[in-house]
Structures are given as C-alpha cells and as structure tokens.
Structure 1
Amino acid sequence: IKESILLRTMGASKKQILSINAIEYFFLGSLAALAGLILAYGGSWALAKFSFEASFIPPVGATLILLFGVILMVVITGVLSTRSVLNQPPLKILRNEGS
C-alpha cells in the first residue's frame, strides 16, 4: 500500500501503478503456483510409488489449467485490492495506516 501511495505522490498515473502491481502479482502468483505444483506432484509421486506401488503420470492439461488459474486469481485479487487505494487521496490513506 505504501509503495502505491509513494508512486502516486511522485506523480505516477493510476494506470502505471496498476500495471506495476499487476506485474508484481503475476510473478508472485507464478512462484506460488510453481511451488504448489512441485509440492503436490512430489507428494503424489511418493504416495503412488511407495504406498500404492503404481506409476505416477502427471496430467499435463490439468497442470496448465491450475497453473494459469492460480496466476490469474492472484493478479485479479491484487489489482482489485490496489484499486481501493488508488481511489482515495494519499494523505487520507497514510493517516489511516499510522493509527
């Protein structure tokens, strides 16, 4: 929040701030989705191999849908939360943050 307020105070437009935040949330969502997929597939592989004694074949289609779905949800959530900050004067937000 403070980052967006600082950029706005320095003269950045709302479109620039939303773009910066969208890129930031895209990378955050990408890292979260990849970490989740690696952990989920690691656990699924171990369960299939050692518990069920079966081979593990990850579904590629579902993987891609989940990957892009998580990234999209993180970007949408981040941009929507940023919009509320951009619609208020910076001084008002800073006063509310301090108290």
Structure 2
Amino acid sequence: MPRGSKPGERRGGGSRKGIPNKSTANAREAIARFVDGNAERLNGWLDEIYEKDGPAAAFKAVESLLEYHVPKLSRQEVTGEGGGPLVHRIERRIVDTKPRNA
C-alpha cells in the first residue's frame, strides 16, 4: 500500500501556523512562575547589578529575562501598491453651507 500524499493532495498534519508548541508554552509558564515566586529576590539581584555595573547592565538583565516571557513582535513593513512607496493624498472639498432655495 503506497504511503504519503498523492500529487496535488495536501494532508493536514501538524499544528496551525503561529501556534506555539507545548515545550515553548511550558517554558514560558515556568519562567512566569519563577518570576512571580522570586520577585523580591529579583529586585535584590537587580539592585546588586545596578550598584556594581550601572543602570544599563541592570536594564539589560531585565530585558534578557523578559525575552523568554514576552514574545518579540515581528517586524511589520507597510508599503504601497505593488510593494512601492506609500502614496499620501490630501483632498480638499468646498461645501456650500447655504441652502440654494433660500
């Protein structure tokens, strides 16, 4: 018996596009629980980093931790028709506010 799909046939295996896999969801959940359970400790660690290496290093530490909890947004590019530049158009309409039969 032949295996696989026939030419032109598409089988629907796998998850839908954009759905994170279970290990990613579990990792994010574990990081969230860790952050929630160690908020006071994290503040202390950030204070130590701040005092030793400065505010930029403390911010970098927070940014590195958040990277695993908050997903990065993908870059969005806005283009005009056919991928060209956007065309901005301003219309000015003069409207007569006085009734004609007055």
Normalised TM-score (structure 2): 0.29
Higher relative contact order (CA closer than 8 Å, sequence separation 6+)? 1
Normalised to the residue count of structure 1, the TM-score between the two structures is 0.29
Structure number with higher helix proportion? 1
Larger radius of gyration: 2
